[in-house]
């Protein structure tokens, strides 16, 4: 009876994970998808706790309480803008758990004088290796995104060759252990090297590429969990780990595509270490500052306005203010749309999440391919704290490091207003010729503050 219940809860959990992932693929169903996946996780935990092999619940409950408290604190106190680092930390925890399970299983078999079958040792080695490198890799990603460590790529001569050599040694030990699993010293050498490799893997990657790396690490953590499932003979872990592993991998590929970069370039290209001066070519003209009153008048008498949010919207937490301005404009009969770049902000779907929080209707959000043809008929494009995703160099300057990256063609609108605090660069560290074009007016200040003042000004225009 107990076995049936466990099997049933695992089956239900697996179905809920798949439905959850499906739901997460669209903003309208994302919340429901998340709840389904949460419920699935609850079922998986309940099923696992029913196992008759469990001799005492003391440590399990201790872990459950500590984990829940940490999770709760992270959920309550970590701001939306710090979500990428928070995710990196969660990956580190998950991967460390997978590595520890593998290490303890190896140790248990070793001290009881048992023998690990080749297939079990393969899964265990895979789990420990991926778990260990994901742990340190994610911790370094966290430190870079949190600003605790320099965010720019850390490179040195022969780095890629050294990393590849270290990986080759680690994998060789792993293969040796599959055939001769009895050496504790070699096993721990492999674990140690994998921990070091995680750091070396992330070191040369700049913060701008960190989201791609993180979803790749997420994919590794998922595959490590799937391997744990094989070691422990736990079906739900195999299914959940595989889903996690492959969805993370697909997400990495999608992000690379949105930036027109290859995965190899992200992992080995040390993007962001390039000298940025001159990368934008000779910048023509100068930046033209505009007044709040001028912008308010332009907006109030426009037919069509497109808001283009970027990372600055997130840091300023300006999503409610932009919605208020859109409401005021719509009341005046202006058509308002939002142009959403797939990598605007610092994580996939960043802008969708923020705008959904401010109840911006999904029907007003337009993806890059949908909105780009509309810019020539747009009276005013308002760039809210975006930079790289509207950099025309990506389209026009083949020498630019972001050449070929699809961008939002705001410079093709009749007028562009850029809301930003000053001369700060985007995450790529590149100069943006858009700000120097005659069509563009710069309205300086914190995005939330500027938008709030614009609401007042438009009402009186
Ligand atoms: P961005 O290029 O990083 O530019 C953000 C701009 O916002 C800055 O130039 C900054 O200028 C301004 N800003 C910051 N705080 C502000 C505030 N409080 N009020 C007003 N403006 C503010 O952002 P983006 O255009 O969204 O581009 C995203 C970047 O991240 C791209 O390079 C993309 O490739 C990279 N990336 C994203 C993802 C993802 O999943 N989303 C994944 C990988 C890489 P000031 O300092 O002058 O204010």
Q: Using one digit for the tens of pLDDT, what is the confidence trace for 60-84?
A: 999 999 999 998 998 888 877 777 7
- Tokens linked to 385: 């704290």
Distance 345 CA to ligand 1 centre (A): 6
Residue 342 CA: nearest ligand 1 atom is 41
CB-ligand 1 contact for 450 (6 Å cutoff): no
pLDDT, residue 284, reads: 67
Lowest mean pLDDT, pick from 333-342, 380-389, 393-402 = 393-402
Distance 286 CA to ligand 1 centre (A): 21
pLDDT, residue 151, reads: 76
Distance 15 CA to ligand 1 centre (A): 37
Residue 389 CA: nearest ligand 1 atom is 25
Q: Chain-wide mean pLDDT for the chain?
A: 90
Q: Which protein residue has the closest C-alpha to ligand 1 atom 15?
A: 312
**Span 248-264, average pLDDT:** 84
CB-ligand 1 contact for 427 (6 Å cutoff): yes
| pLDDT of 265 above 90 | no
Higher pLDDT: 30 or 273? It is: 30
The pairing of strands 304-309 and 335-340 is parallel
pLDDT, residue 278, reads: 43
Alpha helix stretches (DSSP H) within 305-408: 311-316, 319-331, 350-357, 368-371, 393-396
**Span 92-117, average pLDDT:** 91
Higher pLDDT: 281 or 55? It is: 55
Question: pLDDT digits over 105-118, tens only?
Answer: 999 998 888 888 89
Question: pLDDT digits over 184-204, tens only?
Answer: 999 999 999 999 999 999 998
CB-ligand 1 contact for 426 (6 Å cutoff): yes
CB-ligand 1 contact for 421 (6 Å cutoff): yes
CA 219, 340, 139, 33 dihedral sign is negative
pLDDT, residue 401, reads: 79
Using a 10 angstrom Cβ sphere, with 0-12 exposed, 13-18 middle and 19 or more buried, the burial of residue 320 is middle
pTM higher than 0.95 for the full model? no
| pLDDT of 129 above 90 | yes
Question: pLDDT digits over 140-183, tens only?
Answer: 999 988 889 887 788 888 888 999 999 999 999 999 999 998 88
Higher pLDDT: 447 or 428? It is: 447
- Sequence-ordered list of residues with C-beta below 8 angstroms from that of 375, at least 6 positions apart, any chain: 306, 381, 408, 409, 410, 412, 413
**Span 286-315, average pLDDT:** 96
Lowest mean pLDDT, pick from 34-38, 135-139, 277-281, 350-354 = 277-281
Q: Which residues are catalytic?
A: 388
Residue 387's nearest CA partner among 361, 363, 405 is 405
pLDDT, residue 181, reads: 84
d(CA 414, CA 440): 9
pLDDT, residue 277, reads: 41
Residue 343 CA: nearest ligand 1 atom is 41
Residue 405 CA: nearest ligand 1 atom is 34
Q: Which protein residue has the closest C-alpha to ligand 1 atom 8?
A: 426
pLDDT, residue 283, reads: 66
Residue 341 CA: nearest ligand 1 atom is 26
**Span 379-385, average pLDDT:** 98
| pLDDT of 354 above 50 | yes
- Find where tokens 């009969």 sit: 333
CB-ligand 1 contact for 419 (6 Å cutoff): yes
Distance 429 CA to ligand 1 centre (A): 10
Distance 333 CA to ligand 1 centre (A): 30
CB-ligand 1 contact for 420 (6 Å cutoff): yes
Residue 316 CA: nearest ligand 1 atom is 18
**Span 424-432, average pLDDT:** 88
pLDDT, residue 274, reads: 46
pLDDT, residue 282, reads: 60
CB-ligand 1 contact for 259 (6 Å cutoff): yes
CB-ligand 1 contact for 354 (6 Å cutoff): no
CB-ligand 1 contact for 402 (6 Å cutoff): no
Distance 319 CA to ligand 1 centre (A): 15
DSSP string, 402-416: TTT-----GGGSS-E
Residue 332's nearest CA partner among 379, 274, 401, 367 is 379
d(CA 204, CA 206): 7
d(CA 207, CA 225): 26
d(CA 37, CA 293): 48
- 243 SS3 class: helix
CB-ligand 1 contact for 204 (6 Å cutoff): no
- Sequence-ordered list of residues with C-beta below 8 angstroms from that of 318, at least 6 positions apart, any chain: 312, 384, 385, 446, 447, 448, 451
């Amino acid at each position: 009876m107990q076995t049936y219940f466990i099997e049933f809860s695992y089956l239900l959990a697996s179905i809920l994970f798949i439905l959850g992932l499906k739901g997460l693929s669209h903003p309208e169903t994302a919340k429901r998808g998340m709840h389904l996946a949460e419920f699935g996780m609850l079922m998986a935990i309940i099923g696992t706790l029913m196992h008759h092999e469990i001799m005492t619940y003391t440590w399990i409950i201790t872990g459950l309480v500590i984990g829940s408290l940490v999770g709760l604190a992270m959920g309550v106190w970590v701001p939306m803008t710090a979500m990428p680092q928070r995710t990196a930390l969660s990956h580190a925890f998950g991967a460390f758990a997978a590595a520890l399970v593998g290490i303890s299983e190896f140790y248990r078999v070793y001290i009881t004088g048992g023998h690990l079958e080749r297939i079990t040792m393969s899964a265990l080695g895979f789990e420990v290796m991926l778990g260990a490198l994901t742990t340190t890799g994610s911790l370094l990603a966290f430190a870079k995104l949190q600003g605790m460590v320099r965010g720019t790529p850390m490179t040195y001569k022969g780095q890629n060759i050294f990393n590849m050599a270290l990986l080759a040694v680690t994998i060789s030990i792993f293969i040796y252990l599959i055939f001769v699993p009895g050496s504790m010293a070699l096993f721990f050498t492999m674990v140690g090297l994998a921990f070091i490799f995680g750091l070396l893997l992330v070191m040369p990657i700049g913060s701008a590429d960190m989201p791609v790396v993180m979803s790749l690490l997420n994919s590794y953590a998922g595959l490590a969990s799937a391997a744990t499932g094989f070691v422990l003979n736990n079906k739900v872990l195999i299914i959940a780990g595989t889903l996690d592993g492959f969805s993370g991998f697909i997400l990495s590929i999608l992000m690379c595509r949105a930036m027109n970069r290859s995965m190899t370039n992200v992992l080995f290209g040390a993007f962001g270490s390039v000298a940025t001066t001159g990368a934008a070519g000779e910048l023509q003209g100068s930046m033209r500052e505009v007044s709040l009153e001028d912008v308010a008048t332009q907006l109030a008498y426009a037919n069509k306005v497109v808001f283009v949010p970027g990372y600055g919207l997130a840091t300023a937490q300006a999503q409610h203010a932009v919605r208020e301005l859109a409401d005021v404009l719509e009341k005046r009969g202006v058509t308002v749309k939002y142009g959403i770049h797939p990598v605007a902000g610092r994580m996939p779907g960043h802008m969708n999440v923020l705008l959904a929080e401010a109840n911006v209707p999904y029907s007003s959000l337009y993806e890059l391919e949908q909105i780009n043809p509309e810019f020539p008929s747009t009276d005013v494009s308002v760039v809210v704290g975006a930079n790289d995703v509207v950099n025309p160099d990506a389209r026009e300057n083949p020498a630019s490091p972001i050449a070929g990256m699809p961008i939002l063609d705001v410079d093709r609108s009749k007028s562009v207003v850029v809301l930003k605090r000053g001369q700060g660069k985007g995450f790529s560290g590149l100069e943006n010729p858009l700000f120097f074009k005659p069509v563009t007016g710069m309205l300086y200040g914190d995005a939330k503050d500027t938008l709030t003042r614009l609401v007042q000004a438009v009402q009186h225009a």
